[in-house]
Amino acid sequence: MSNQSANPSTQNSALNSRFIALKICLTVIQKGRSLSQSLPEGLAQFQDRRERGFTQNLVIGTLRWQMRLEAIRDQLLKKKLKEKDEDINQLILLGLYQILYMETPEHAAVSETVAVVQKLKKPWAKALVNGVLRNFLRDQENICAEADLKPAQKYSHPQWLFKALRKAYPDDWQSIMQANNEIAPLTLRVNTIQQSRDAFIEKLQSQDIIAKPHATAPQGVVLETSTDITQLPTYEEGGFSVQDGAAQQAANILQPKADEHILDACAAPGGKTTHLLELSANKAKVFALEKEPERIDRLAENLHRLDLQADYAAGDASCPEEWWDNQLFDKILLDAPCSATGIIRRHPDIKWHRTPEDIETLVETQASILKALWPLLKPGGKLLYATCSVLPEENTLQMQDFIESEPTAKVIPLNLEATITFETPGNQYLPGRFAMDGFFYCLLEKSE
């Protein structure tokens, strides 16, 4: 496992970092809030960049390895703690994560984690946390080996998801779960209206930023190390966006042309909307729809920064009567609501928030949107169905069901490098291949 950021220098800052990390983790695990909401709020309390970095690594890493850490912790506790002491439970996991995965010296990982107990006003727990962490240090190898006997624990995935992945991908489930626990690279998409990919890479290299062209995404650039994107050249002018290589395939598959009337359903925050416009030299007539009104602002900001024009509105894709102007579309991009099981490496809390019941609900929602949008497509038009999921129920099986029920739908085979194809329709990117997220695509054409 790769090591993470080193310790903050002073005990006070280290204590504060660990306490804030604990509060963020509890918000995610206990209260069910998303990491993307909770983490920025927690990190906003820090002035120091190193403290922010340490806390972020500690939170994301602990949530990423939550199940493995719990299996280790449970071997060390003589009896389970009460529900009201979940803060102590989670604090132990933070301590174990530092010992196993970070550069924190072992004595500091123990002593400074134990010190957090003072802030929790549970003095009885000081000896417990100290004892658990020190006992782990004494027999670390054997304890980890015991925890890793069960694959779901070894790869830190909930049991239901482990079983689903093993069933769907009998030859790839281990590599999928391993990729889900890796740190995703920072991948950018060059705005080719403004600059070429080669020119952008040269600008980065002139500032000693190591970057390389993406292996399969024609506008993609991969940075060797993560950085503050607002400080990169051409950010203010809209010279690039952040977008994973797999997500960049959507606009390239649809090949938007000038004056084509294109619907981007479920569009926020606008990554694919803006890519469609860039590839058409800002001449496609794109209508971006987003169900969540509060996300429309982010879409508008991205359009503005990149100097692109599109119409957009808040609306439910499954209810066109509420927003459609009766003008048929040449092309439709349906980036459907999904389990997001293909982007776990970027959002490790997905593992702990998703349930099998969620998948059933999402499959129904996807089918409803497909059925509602298909009549809005011109004869001869194309609809691209996409998800950031790796589960067949949301992808190939969803497409198979739709095609069987819709006689005017024809699958157009896609030649996408590094994808898996099935007997059922569509192409599946698995997490980690060419350093990309897990993504599914199926292109449909409407018969004349």
pLDDT tens digits, 398-428 = 999 999 999 999 999 999 998 999 888 999 9
Residues near 339 by beta carbon (within 8 Å), at least 6 away in sequence = 350, 354, 358, 359, 362, 389, 391, 394
Residue that has been written with the tokens 């698995």 in this structure: 430
Closest by CA to 49, choosing from 57, 61, 60, is 57
Q: What residues are labeled active site?
A: 388
- Residue with the bigger pLDDT between 16 and 201: it is 201
Closest CA to 447 of 390, 415, 408, 420: 408
Distance (Å, rounded) from C-alpha 114 to C-alpha 52?
20
What's the rounded Cα separation, in Å, for the pair 55 and 349?
16
d(CA 34, CA 395): 24
302-347 confidence digits (pLDDT tens): 999 999 999 999 999 999 999 999 999 999 999 999 999 999 999 9
pLDDT score for 422: 85
∠ CA 202-203-208 to the nearest 5 degrees?
Answer: 90
Q: What is the pLDDT of residue 423?
A: 86
- What's residue 14's pLDDT? 55
Sort 33 into a burial class: Cβ within 10 Å, 0-12 / 13-18 / 19+: middle
Dump pLDDT digits (tens) for 98-124.
999 999 999 999 999 999 999 999 999
d(CA 38, CA 28): 7
- Distance CA(200)–CA(367), nearest Å, equals 40
Closest C-alpha to 329, from 272, 254, 427: 254
pLDDT at 448: 81
State which H helix or E strand residue 63 sits in: helix 49-64
pTM over 0.85: yes
Looking at residue 153, what is its pLDDT?
98
- The DSSP output letter for 247 is T
- Tell me the per-residue pLDDT of 180-224, one tens digit each, with 9 for 90 and over: 999 999 999 999 999 999 999 999 999 999 999 999 999 999 999
